[in-house]
Amino acid sequence: MTNDHLIGVVGGGLMGVGIATKFALAGHATLVVEADPGRAAGIPAVAADILSQLIDAGLIDAQARDAALARLRVTKDAGELAGAAMAIEAIPEVLTAKHALYAQLEAIMAPHAIIASNTSGFPPDALSEHMAAPGRFLVAHYWNPPHLIPLVEVVPGSATAPEVVERCVALLAGAKAEPVVLKAAIPGFIGNRLQFAVLREALHIVRSGAATPETVDAVMKACLGRRYSIMGPFESADLGGLQTLMGIGANLMPELAKDEDVLELMRAHVEKGELGASTGQGFYSWDDARLEDLKARRLRQLAGK
């Protein structure tokens, strides 16, 4: 018998701990399976820090934090997932490692238990290729940081059973996620395609010399970012009037970037070792104060304050 309340997260890294903390907050007994003992030892503190952020944002109280921490357990033994209703895999983006893990999980977990992957980009059929029962497998793609961004892109493979999609969506929604289900797997799913379409045009504008990165970012923050947190591109088009957008689009579409050669602008930074905030230099210069300010703004905004 599975315990519908037990949720497993395999891989307690950047994504896994946030995902697990959300399930624990929602009342699930939650097990994080982490292979690296050093990392495993730090997981309760990482979860406590996530929960403190949610308290600071006024989203939960101290009682909810303590209850969530009491429900979250860390182990290195995947065998403890035997009674779990669902395991979400969040190990590094290495296909062979994911294949090996699914073989292990299939041997451990009950036949109707769901195996989901938080992969950033592998198609579900490539992930489940060697599974004995791929009908129980699907992608559940969270966004970073998962405790603040509610979207989960649920991507069934060609063999995924419809009732597995339904059960997965119900479990995610019950844990305060906002799952969306794709009809078919496409590279980048939806969120990353939209993100990279915007990035391509942003790079194109800067490369053309028409504006700096600061100006492009200002346009996004003061206008489109606000709008898109309220309505999507199709709702926005309907409000703007489709005939008007057709007129603008007919002139503008041929002007927009179409190729990936705009990545040159980013490659030039990467080749100099300028990787962004992690190295202190990317399109901007980063110091601790700038980074902390941005993180504080993000927390306030995502908490709706």
Binding site for ligand NAD (CB under 6 A): 10-16, 33-36, 39, 90-93, 97, 101, 118-120, 141-142, 144
Q: What single-letter amino acid sits at 118?
A: N
Is the CB of 33 or the CB of 262 nearer to ligand NAD? 33
CA distances from 288 to 14, 186, 191 (A): 20, 37, 29
- Nearest distance in Å: CB 104, ligand NAD: 8
Name the token pair of 273: 């070792």
In whole angstroms, what is the distance from residue 198 CA to residue 190 CA?
A: 13
Is the CB of 43 or the CB of 206 nearer to ligand NAD? 43
Is the CB of 36 or the CB of 49 nearer to ligand NAD? 36
In whole angstroms, what is the distance from residue 148 CA to residue 159 CA?
A: 31
- Nearest distance in Å: CB 250, ligand NAD: 36
Is the CB of 8 or the CB of 135 nearer to ligand NAD? 8
- Nearest distance in Å: CB 137, ligand NAD: 14
- Nearest distance in Å: CB 17, ligand NAD: 8
| Residue nearest to ligand NAD as judged by C-beta position | 13
In whole angstroms, what is the distance from residue 71 CA to residue 198 CA?
A: 40
Is the CB of 32 or the CB of 202 nearer to ligand NAD? 32
CA dihedral 20, 24, 26, 27 (to 10 degrees): 150
Which alpha helices (H) appear in the chain, and where do they start and end?
14-25, 37-56, 62-71, 95-108, 124-127, 162-174, 191-208, 213-219, 225-228, 233-240, 242-252, 264-271, 288-302
- Three-class DSSP category at 132: coil
Helix, strand, coil: what percent of the chain each, to 5? Answer: 55, 15, 30
Is the CB of 144 or the CB of 285 nearer to ligand NAD? 144
In whole angstroms, what is the distance from residue 121 CA to residue 130 CA?
A: 18
Is the CB of 33 or the CB of 206 nearer to ligand NAD? 33
Name the token pair of 191: 């969120």
- Nearest distance in Å: CB 11, ligand NAD: 3
- Nearest distance in Å: CB 122, ligand NAD: 8
Instruction: Give the strand order in the sheet containing 29-33.
Output: 72-75, 29-33, 3-10, 84-89, 114-117, 137-142, 151-156, 178-181
Is the CB of 98 or the CB of 136 nearer to ligand NAD? 98
- Nearest distance in Å: CB 89, ligand NAD: 8
- Nearest distance in Å: CB 182, ligand NAD: 15
